[in-house]
Structure 1
Amino acid sequence: MLFMVEMDVNIPLGFDADEAARLKAAEKARFQELQAAGTWRHIWRVVGRYANVSIFDVADNAALHDLLTTLPLFPFMTMRVTALCRHPSSAHDDDR
């Protein structure tokens, strides 16, 4: 199943800078792992915000929830999830 996930990151002011840097590096590594596996199919930065719009390809809602909770920055994120399905006019065969 495909899901669009809008993620806003809000690390509190005064949060330890070294710990924030460590979490950001861990987040990038986890993203790259999921991208290589084909699970995190797309990511776009939202201009002017510490936010992104991403497309995930997972088995179901529970799998997406389990995956999202593994993200190192998860405690600092507000997310909006939208389930997607292939549009009949799509020219791409891999839109499932």
Structure 2
Amino acid sequence: RETGIDPHRPVAETATDQGHANILIGIDSDGQIWVNRQIVQVGEVRQLVESAVNENPESSAVLITDEEAPTGIMLDIMDQVRLGGVANIAVAAQPEST
């Protein structure tokens, strides 16, 4: 599944491959939340996650955020994902160039 955005992801020295997650949530530089190429509201994220968990109890989530995305939105999304039943949340980053 795709988020619908192509963000400028932050760089992290400790970035590692997280494999494939079945819940991808994008946050663009304006703070808009994208799931399956559609803009959603913070309050909708929990329901989407709960649906994914019903399909696959081993669900994990990856937040794909633009480096300019508001941190508060990211934290709100992480809370909603946890409330939806997923504890395994990763934040996508670009590996630092060496």
- TM-score normalized by the length of structure 1: 0.30
User: Whose radius of gyration is greater, 1 or 2?
Assistant: 1
TM-score by length of 2: 0.29
Q: Report 1 or 2 for greater relative contact order, CA contacts < 8 Å, sequence distance ≥ 6.
A: 1
